[in-house]
A = this chain, B = another copy of it.
Amino acid sequence: MGLIVQKFGGTSVATAERINAAAKRVTDAYKAGNKVIVVVSARGQTTDELIDLAYEITDNPSSREMDMLMSTGEQISVALMAMAIHALGFPAVSFTGGQVGIVTDSYHTKARIRNINTTRIQKELDKGTIVIVAGFQGVDVNENITTLGRGGSDTTAVALAAIMKADRCDIYTDVDGIYTADPRKVPCARKLNRVSYDEILELASLGAQVMHSRSIEFAKKYNVPLYVRSSFNNSEGTLICKEVKEMENIVVSGVAVSKDDAKITIRGVPDVPGQAAKIFHDIAKKNINVDMIIQNASIEGRADVTFTVPRSDLRMALETAEKIKKELSAKEVLHDSKIAKLSVVGIGMRSHCGVAEKMFSVLAEEKINIQMISTSEIKISCVIDEAHAERAMRAVHTAFGLDKVEKEEVVKV
């Protein structure tokens, strides 16, 4: 007995059959006595098809009109979902983001939710109606349609769960839950029953892309328990919730690898105060996110500064680096886009020593060179050669005891 938000991703509503299956999950929750809010994404490839239509017209579509166009994808989904629930004999009503009072700022294609007027949702829930809301979209104060950018439907679901004080927010997707590592790359990866917001935030930003960071941050801020599970089977999913005492016993919850970065080194930077500030000021002015930074010890008054940037920004970052090199009379600019960032994440790190040491040893045993290191309270990341990424991930996964038990038994036999 409570209020549940259920979010269905694009693959979960791609066909009439899947929409009917999703509707069944909704009505099961309703029959169990819950009030239910459903958030739906655009069906399967719809968004891509709409984007293609736009690019047939122009190479440079306005972002306002893209939002007008793309928001139809979710609108189609909610109407079909309402019909499917009606067909099962239950009351349901669909709403666009605008109709349900999701007001955002005016940054088209990446708008942020400002507030949600809950009057209409509450009224329908009170009547016993299942409320279906189009994910990913809202309106600005002038009623222009906006979209929330990548992972936008998750954000809608979490925001609704937060403001409606839902007991739980179910995220139905095409994977069974959150794993200790990407199961496509680490076959012996284990599904996590429970993981904290902070851990999943580190894992998400590192390439374990089950949910977008923004929606997790939102869930953390408003303490919305998220339950990630598959819409294709009934296996237990993963509960993402706030940290509890017992989680500390698990030193490492997951291992992730990301290949989205490139490395730039400016060699021979004069080792006088203010030089690093100068470099990263210029890079930041280009709107490029710098992730890791290292500076080696100065030799003969000169130091090497190395940092990583998103691969997609590499060319722009290199142009800036070359300009900086001249201005600072540095020696040369080197770069490498064939790198991978391997990370281990776990709340238990806070109270356990030796995690970094263990990770470094494993990589050493595998004869994999560590190019850069960065750490946070619950994460250790190493930059290595991209070619060794998967092998390194599997080795670290095993070393931290994350392999599933069945796998070990198979190995013994």
**Chain A positions near chain B (C-beta within 8 angstroms):** 16, 19-20, 50, 53-54, 56-58, 60-62, 64-66, 68-69, 71-72, 75-76, 78-80, 82-84, 86-87, 93-94, 96, 98-99, 143-145
Contacts and interface: CB of A to CB of B under 8 A. Distances in A.
Nearest to A101: B143
B75 A62 contact: no
A56 B99 contact: no
A57 B93 contact: no
A72 B83 contact: no
- Interface residues of chain A: helix, strand, loop or mixed (majority): helix
B58 A87 contact: yes
Nearest to A54: B83
B94 A68 contact: yes
Given A78-B68, A79-B66, A99-B143, A57 B87 contact: yes
Choose among A78, A80, A99 the residue with the greatest number of B CB atoms under 10 Å from its CB. Answer: A80
Given A75-B72, A87-B58, A99-B143, A65 B82 contact: yes
Given A65-B79, A69-B76, A69-B79, 12 more contacts: A54-B83, A57-B83, A57-B87, A62-B82, A64-B93, A65-B82, A65-B94, A68-B75, A69-B75, A72-B72, A75-B75, A99-B145
A64 B86 CA distance: 12
Contacts of A61: 83, 86
Given A64-B93, A93-B64, A143-B99, A57 B78 contact: no
A16 B57 contact: yes
Contact of A58 (B65, B78, B83, B98): B83
Choose among A19, A78, A99 the residue with the greatest number of B CB atoms under 10 Å from its CB. Answer: A99
Nearest to A100: B143
A57 B19 contact: yes
A265 to B, nearest CB: 43
5 contacts: A60-B86, A68-B82, A68-B96, A96-B145, A99-B144
